[in-house]
Amino acid sequence: MCGIAGIFAYLDVAPDVDRGELARMNARMAPRGPDGSGNWFSADRRVGFTHRRLAIIDLSERGAQPMHSSDGTLIITFNGEIYNYRQLKAELEAKGYCFRSDSDTEVLLHLYADRGLSMVEALRGMFAFAIWDSRARKLLLARDPLGIKPLYYADDGWTIRFASQAKALLAGGAVPRDPDPAGIVGFHLFGSVPDPFTVWRSIRAVPAGSTILVDAAGPEAPRAYYSVAHALGRRSAAAGAGAETGRRQLSAAVHDSVRHHLVADVPVAVFLSAGLDSGALLGTMAELGARDTLAVTLSFAEFKGDRHDEAPLAAEIASRYGARHLVRTVDRAEFERDLPAILDAMDMPTIDGINTWFVAKAAHEAGIKVALSGLGADECFGGYPSFTDVPRSVRLLRPFRFIPGLGGLARRVLSSAIARGVRLHPKSAGVLQYGGSWPGAYLLRRGVFMPWELCGLLDPALVAEGLRRLAPLSHISAALQAGRPLGEFDRVAAMETSFYMRNQLLRDADWAGMAHSIEIRVPYVDPYFLAALPRGDVLAAIKAKEAVADVPQPPLPQASRNRSKTGFVTPVGRWMRDAGGASGDVGFSNASRAWALRVWQAGWTGSAAA
């Protein structure tokens, strides 16, 4: 796990690569790679790569980056881990390729030489990388299928710059800070900025599951090689399985994914809550032979003794599987001390990530570099209320969509009533207008603010442009384009995976983990894992969210099964309410809204965000 950045001056009239700019980009990413730093520049000064290293596989200097092929024609800077690199290495050696290291990075170099752009389809892991092909004079940017690892780029028509962090691009000093209304509106709607937008007009994210090729004419349009909806569609087209077969498929998929995610040359810990998902990971690790595993649990002083306190039950789970258990307790004073650093590390605004910040901080304090997380299980197993609420909303409210003007009229009337003091949630005004379609019902369920509320928070001209460019309902709808019909379960899974998980949970895991030099691995976020699961209706029938408790042997204790789902929560809302919060206009009954305003007021399009 690392930080990468680079510059390619692709037009002849563009200035040469500025080494100082690349050094500033590297420095901004220092926490991502405390184990080493390296640079590479082409002889003609038109290309430059930089790298920060967190050594996980092949800890020797042979694994240092940027790395070049033996003949010097290919150069790579790589962030991530390739879990099937040993298998790929054996296949390449059988073809005559020779290796100088035991790193997965060198496998990528030879795989590109062997397969070209199609190399990405063979990779199992999380990755963002750039390869410079000096013979073809082309730059390849690539990002993993589900978007675990971030990769941003800025193209001014002369030169393209890329980095693991958007703020690293800004730190270089050559990328404008002009705000992007689409990204700003997206944050206020979703609580995170939807890819490929950022809050800066000049910076874009390489879409998950895509590559971008850059030559002398500039960057081509992103090429998608993976789609969540298509993957779920292929699964939905398969024959249905019985309950017992479905449970066996689930168990086999978890064991296979955990086995792959344990590939490392350093110890692998686990972030352990009181829930089923992380407990199943720890139990499976033990079943696969992992010993003396460190399990890190986050606890909050305000939650001690109540249902949100994760520590007691997590201790029982850790003991069951022979793990060393570390409980890290956080209080309001520590949160307030860390808040400036949290906002600085936060690469783009988000209403989440606080829990990951502190559990990663605890892991770092314990000398850990790698930890497994249960992130992504709810999206796979139907663990969110949205898996029930969204389909029900569509079924009940679809008929009202065919009455012209009814939804808009109802929204205006109810919004006016709410403004006069009628005690209704602001979202209720849009139920008839939005609730009868899949994208609309999802926006109602996941949205922080609704589109009609934004003019009360932001400049109306910015809102108008942002809504036009983002087109939120069309943006959500695109995530459902599968090529074949999806069932209700898989429709919701596609939206949760493509939006909430990718743009919020995974992005937060990256910035909050890497701020403490912690690589967070997510076995439930793996295309191979998704493909090995039974289709959505079978997962729903076997109650996969509960069935995962029986995956490890011995299974999880009964107390963890009986615990009501609370999520991995923090008392941030309470702390803000006690402190007076960010705004008196919105009200603090909704902690997400209050935190969104507090984050935005930190100054995201100004110097404070850089």
Q: How confident is the model at residue 401 (pLDDT cuts 50, 70, 90)?
A: confident
Helix (H, G, I), strand (E, B) or coil at 331: coil
Q: Is pLDDT at 606 greater than 60 in this prediction?
A: no
Q: Looking at 203, 226, 249, which one is the last position of a domain?
A: 226
Same domain (yes/no): 185, 237:
no
Give me the mean pLDDT over the 237-254 stretch: 86
Give me the mean pLDDT over the 318-330 stretch: 96
Q: What percent of the chain has pLDDT over 90?
A: 81
Pairwise CA distance, residues 277 & 582, whole Å: 34
Give me the mean pLDDT over the 196-223 stretch: 98
Q: How confident is the model at residue 93 (pLDDT cuts 50, 70, 90)?
A: very high
Higher pLDDT, 574 or 510: 510
Give me the mean pLDDT over the 86-95 stretch: 98
The CA radius of gyration of the chain, in Å to the nearest whole number, is 24
Same domain (yes/no): 212, 123:
yes
Same domain (yes/no): 193, 340:
no
CA count, 13 A, side-chain hemisphere, 43: 4
Same domain (yes/no): 203, 251:
no
CATH code of residue 169: 3.60.20.10
pLDDT of amino acid 568: 54
Tokens 């690790």 belong to which residue? 285
Tokens 């449970």 belong to which residue? 247
Neighbours of 485 (CB within 10 A): 10
Q: How confident is the model at residue 307 (pLDDT cuts 50, 70, 90)?
A: confident
In 3-state terms, the chain is what percent helix, strand and coil (to 5)? 50, 15, 35
Q: Is pLDDT at 57 greater than 50 in this prediction?
A: yes
Average of per-residue pLDDT values in the chain = 92
- pLDDT single digits (tens) 459-516: 999 999 999 999 999 999 999 998 888 999 999 999 999 999 999 999 999 999 999 9
- Single-letter amino acid, residue 607: S
Q: Is pLDDT at 607 greater than 50 in this prediction?
A: no
Per the structure, how many domains does the chain have?
2
Same domain (yes/no): 23, 96:
yes
502 domain-assigned: yes
Q: Looking at 198, 226, 254, which one is the last position of a domain?
A: 226
- pLDDT single digits (tens) 3-56: 999 999 999 999 999 999 999 999 999 999 999 999 999 999 999 999 999 999
DSSP 367: T
Q: Looking at 184, 206, 226, which one is the last position of a domain?
A: 226
pLDDT of amino acid 111: 98
Same domain (yes/no): 164, 299:
no
pLDDT of amino acid 525: 98
Q: Quote the pTM value.
A: 0.95
Q: Is the separation of the CB atoms in 309 and 552 below 8 Å?
A: no
255 domain-assigned: yes
Q: Residue length, the chain? A: 610
Strand pairing partners for 294? Answer: 324
466 domain-assigned: no
Same domain (yes/no): 155, 298:
no
pLDDT of amino acid 239: 63
pLDDT of amino acid 498: 97
Pairwise CA distance, residues 4 & 439, whole Å: 35
What tokens were used for 350?
A: 């988000």
Same domain (yes/no): 136, 274:
no
337 domain-assigned: yes
- pLDDT single digits (tens) 134-175: 999 999 999 999 999 999 999 999 999 999 999 999 999 999
410 domain-assigned: no
Torsion of CA 450, 452, 455, 458, to 10 degrees: 20
Tokens 């030489």 belong to which residue? 113
pLDDT of amino acid 589: 45
Q: How confident is the model at residue 577 (pLDDT cuts 50, 70, 90)?
A: low
Domain boundaries, position 133: 2-226
395 domain-assigned: no
What tokens were used for 230?
A: 């298509």
pLDDT of amino acid 583: 40
Q: How confident is the model at residue 408 (pLDDT cuts 50, 70, 90)?
A: confident
91 domain-assigned: yes
CATH code of residue 536: 3.40.50.620
Q: How confident is the model at residue 386 (pLDDT cuts 50, 70, 90)?
A: very high
277 domain-assigned: yes
Same domain (yes/no): 257, 215:
no
Alpha helices in 100-242, H assignment, sequence order? 104-115, 166-172, 181-190, 228-237
Same domain (yes/no): 172, 261:
no
Same domain (yes/no): 48, 162:
yes
Same domain (yes/no): 96, 161:
yes
Burial 121-138 (b: 16+ CB within 10 A, else e): eebbbbbbbbbbbbeebb
